[in-house]
Amino acid sequence: MALLSIIIPCYFNEENIPVTFDRLQEVEGMLPVGTAVEYLFVDDGSGDGTLRVLESVQKDHPNNVVLIKLAGNVGSYNAILAGMAHSRGDCCTVISADLQDPPELIPRMFAYWQDGFKLVMANRERREEPFFKQLFARLFHRLIRRFALRNIPPGGFDFVLFDRKLCDEVVAMDEKNTNTLFLLPWTGYPYVSIPYVRQAREIGKSRWTLTKKVKLFIDSFIAFSFFPIRLIAASGLILGVLALGYAAFILYARLTGSIEVEGWSALMLVILVVSSFQMMALGVLGEYLWRTLDAVRKRPNYIIDELKDERKA
């Protein structure tokens, strides 16, 4: 008998939880006979009634619902990591609590896992979202595919099913400031990609702000690519060659007297360009450096305030 762990990170999802759990239970009945399911709800420091609703769900289903309450808001990817660390399934799936990703895909994803695939990703073929959100998402994943992870599916993914082996490997990595789900295809295992249409959110309001999106992009890019540092090195080399050529030109002009080297405007232009490049280079290096410092500190990605787990050992 196979055990499937369903991990649901929750943040201000008070109204979503009852509807989402009902849909997931319907999907549970669509799985092969003999398949057991456990639900791991992770409250990521919600400030509404999410915890109260989750406690009610856990109380009504103590044998297969686990409630993990984090001490504070640490982001959905760290919440997912907490769920992965406490899962027991032979395979796990991660799905959002707002039903923008259809739970009905889980049986199909599970079937691919039974066929031997350790990783199954549902990639967003289209989005029923506002234009600017779609534009940002397309740009995000295009840059990630071009410069960081070339093997992720177009459109990106948040809805994924993966084997116990991958779960244990990602948890053991214990990486800081990263995209937890991107670590799954990074392992290199062959995967199956299932395209779907991401639905518009019908219940509640998204807390996925532009600031969080930008941080995720920077974290994802830096965690999986050295392109910014290589770009700095290449730009520095080009600027160095140009500087030497310009210096040679000025020296020649001075010695031959062909032009008067007053050049205040040109000098200021060069100083501004070079200093701007230096500041940008320091900024990029700083992004890598503080993430290195954060990893060296070995602070936990999350702190569990309360764990309600009545599963049998």
Strand, helix or coil for residue 209: coil
| Contact indicator for 121, 160 with CB cutoff of 8 Å | yes
Residues 164 and 72 in one domain: yes
Which residues of the chain fall short of a pLDDT of 70? 126-131, 200-202, 204, 206-208, 257-265, 268, 313
Task: Please give the torsion angle defined by the CA atoms of residues 156, 303, 8 and 20, in that order, rounded to the nearest 10 degrees.
Answer: -130
The predicted pLDDT at position 37 comes to 96
The predicted pLDDT at position 6 comes to 97
Residues 15 and 155 in one domain: yes
**Euclidean distance between CA atoms 301 and 144, whole angstroms:** 23
**Euclidean distance between CA atoms 149 and 159, whole angstroms:** 17
269 vs 54, 207, 263, 276, CA distance in Å? 60, 43, 10, 11
The predicted pLDDT at position 279 comes to 80
152 vs 98, 184, 198, 212, 251, CA distance in Å? 23, 10, 17, 21, 52
Whether residue 241 lies inside any domain: the answer is yes
Residues 246 and 198 in one domain: no
The predicted pLDDT at position 70 comes to 96
Whether residue 210 lies inside any domain: the answer is no
Whether residue 213 lies inside any domain: the answer is no
The tens digit of pLDDT for each residue in 31-69 reads: 999 999 999 999 999 988 999 999 999 999 999 999 999
Q: Identify residue 313 by its one-letter amino acid code.
A: A
**Euclidean distance between CA atoms 296 and 313, whole angstroms:** 34
The predicted pLDDT at position 230 comes to 83
Cα three-residue angle 133-75-175, rounded to 5 degrees: 115
Q: What is the pTM of this model?
A: 0.83
H or E element that contains 54: helix 50-60
DSSP characters over 254-265:
HHHTSS----HH
Whether residue 97 lies inside any domain: the answer is yes
How much of the chain is in helix, strand and coil states, percent to nearest 5?
50, 20, 30
- The residue range of the domain holding 276 is 227-297
Whether residue 171 lies inside any domain: the answer is yes
The predicted pLDDT at position 227 comes to 84
Whether residue 133 lies inside any domain: the answer is yes
The predicted pLDDT at position 260 comes to 59
The tens digit of pLDDT for each residue in 301-310 reads: 999 999 999 8
The predicted pLDDT at position 217 comes to 83
Half-sphere exposure of 75 (CA within 13 A, CB side): 17
Residues 198 and 241 in one domain: no
Residues 124 and 201 in one domain: yes
The predicted pLDDT at position 28 comes to 93
**Euclidean distance between CA atoms 104 and 160, whole angstroms:** 13
Residues 76 and 197 in one domain: yes
Tally Cβ neighbours within 10 Å of residue 225: 16
| Contact indicator for 31, 107 with CB cutoff of 8 Å | yes
Per the structure block, which two tokens stand in for 175? 């990486």
Handedness of CA 85, 94, 183, 90 (dihedral sign): positive
How many separate domains does the chain show?
2
229 vs 58, 102, 103, 177, 191, CA distance in Å? 47, 39, 40, 18, 30
Residues 57 and 89 in one domain: yes
Residues 188 and 237 in one domain: no
Whether residue 237 lies inside any domain: the answer is yes
The tens digit of pLDDT for each residue in 223-257 reads: 888 888 888 888 888 877 787 787 777 777 777 76
Instruction: Point out which residues pair with 123 in neighbouring strands.
Output: 157, 195
Residues 169 and 259 in one domain: no
